Structure 1
């Protein structure tokens, strides 16, 4: 099973699109700035080109991992060592029967939401506790990642 690089790229870009919407002042931007203790001047003072390039790189890494979290056939491939060339005929038969099972946008979205809740939320929550941030900060940031991972999961799983 090969990685769908176009789906990974689109999923990564979707993280930036969701971020533009989510952190817009008319949505959660002002509340996020208040919860994070950041001023508008501080945001404008950052190197936005560097920030968006790094955000895209991080999103690409996440989108690549989302394929393994949402497409169960990657697990079957891992059971044979990752090289389909050395697989027994039974693996080829298995993939012929089940190679596209659960490869839907809906299934990917479900696993994306689950990943957001069970991976992103605990990481953000733990960091926020030690940074002395409040519940609003945790909810805004983890909400962004839950929605983003939902969309990413849908894209990488459903796009065949």
Structure 2
């Protein structure tokens, strides 16, 4: 078996990009109101959360996701393959996994579209960074 080679600069940049996309995606500029409504949350609930913990753990999760994607893509990838691998991961694994959970939890299609859409865009962007970074 070949050794996995990971470009840690690309992983860090990809994780940061995913985190930034999430901040924009779930902001009032895009889907904050729809997401809160569909998730059954209000602004008071979101403000009462320990945001340092939420953001800190979310960033750690972004690093783990980027590391996993980088291991999957490999060191010799191109921008095109990175975009393809990221999109395939976002659509085929993450969005479909969420779909199964949302079906059993009887969550709305709109919530699935918001959350899965973020994952697809995020993984595609991470794949682009990882694939393009030499």
Of 96, 102, 105, which aligns to 1:128?
102
Q: TM-score by structure 1 length?
A: 0.77
Q: Which residue of 1 aligns with 2:129?
A: 155
- Give 1:19-98 correspondences, 5 Å limit: 19-71=22-74
Q: What SS class does the counterpart of residue 26 from structure 1 fall into?
A: coil
Question: In the aligned structure 2, how far is the partner of 1:30 from the partner of 1:48?
Answer: 18
Question: In the aligned structure 1, how far is the partner of 2:31 from the partner of 2:54?
Answer: 19
Question: In the aligned structure 2, how far is the partner of 1:111 from the partner of 1:42?
Answer: 36
Question: In the aligned structure 2, how far is the partner of 1:70 from the partner of 1:5?
Answer: 13
Q: What runs of 5+ residues in structure 2 fail to find an aligned partner?
A: none
Aligned length: 131
Q: Which residue of 1 aligns with 2:82?
A: 108
Q: What SS class does the counterpart of residue 60 from structure 2 fall into?
A: helix
Q: Which residue of 1 aligns with 2:17?
A: 14
Of 108, 114, 120, which aligns to 1:140?
114
Q: What SS class does the counterpart of residue 31 from structure 2 fall into?
A: helix
Question: In the aligned structure 1, how far is the partner of 2:6 from the partner of 2:27?
Answer: 32
Q: What SS class does the counterpart of residue 25 from structure 1 fall into?
A: coil
The answer to whether the 8 Å contact 2:83/2:125 transfers is yes
Shift of 1:29: 1.1
Q: Which residue of 2 aligns with 1:91?
A: none
Shift of 1:130: 2.6
Larger radius of gyration: 1
CA RMSD across the alignment: 1.3
The answer to whether the 8 Å contact 2:36/2:42 transfers is yes
